[in-house]
Amino acid sequence: MKRFLMRNKILMLICLVLCYISGGILINNHNRLLSLLFPQKVWIHRVNSIEKLKEVHQKHSRIELDVEFEEFTNSFEVNHPPAKSINLSLIEYFSSINIESDNRFWLDFKNLSETNMKSSCLKLDSICSIFNLNKKQIIVESTKPKFLKSFNANGYITSYYLPQRLVLLDEPLLNEKIDAIRSIISKNKTTYISTDVRDYKILKKYFAHHKILTWSFPLDGPKQKSLNPISLLKALKQFFFKYKFFAAKNVHVVLFQYEAKEGNR
Q: Judge whether 20 and 226 are in contact, CB under 8 Å.
A: no
Crossing angle between the packed helical segments 30-37 and 229-247, to the nearest 10 degrees: 20
* pLDDT per position as a tens digit, 49-75: 999 999 999 999 999 999 999 999 999
Query: Given this model, what pLDDT does residue 20 score?
Result: 45
Query: Given this model, what pLDDT does residue 46 score?
Result: 96
Give all domains of the chain, ordered by start, each with its CATH number: 2-257 (3.20.20.190)
Quote the CA–CA distance of 144 and 181 in Å, as a whole number: 11
Q: What angle do CA 121, 126, 132 make, to 5 degrees?
A: 120
* pLDDT per position as a tens digit, 90-112: 999 999 999 999 999 999 999 99
* pLDDT per position as a tens digit, 219-236: 655 555 555 666 667 777
Under the banding of pLDDT at 50, 70 and 90, the label for residue 37 is confident
Own/partner pairs for 12-21, CB < 8 Å, 24+ apart?
A: 20/227, 21/227
Assign 126 to helix, strand or coil.
helix
All residues at 6 or more sequence positions from 203 whose CB lies less than 8 Å from its CB, including other chains: 162, 193, 195, 210, 212, 214
DSSP state of 61: S
Residue 18 has pLDDT above 60, yes or no: no
* pLDDT per position as a tens digit, 114-167: 999 999 999 999 999 999 999 999 999 999 999 999 999 999 999 999 999 999
230, amino acid identity: I
Average pLDDT for 1-11: 58
Query: Given this model, what pLDDT does residue 10 score?
Result: 64
Half-sphere exposure of 235 (CA within 13 A, CB side): 23
Residue 8 has pLDDT above 70, yes or no: no
Burial class (CB in 10 A: 0-12, 13-18, 19+), 163: middle
Q: Judge whether 221 and 9 are in contact, CB under 8 Å.
A: no
* DSSP secondary structure letters along 158-200: EEEEPPS-GGGS-HHHHHHHHHHHHHHHHHS--SEEEEEGGGH
Under the banding of pLDDT at 50, 70 and 90, the label for residue 245 is confident
pLDDT: which is higher, 173 or 10? 173
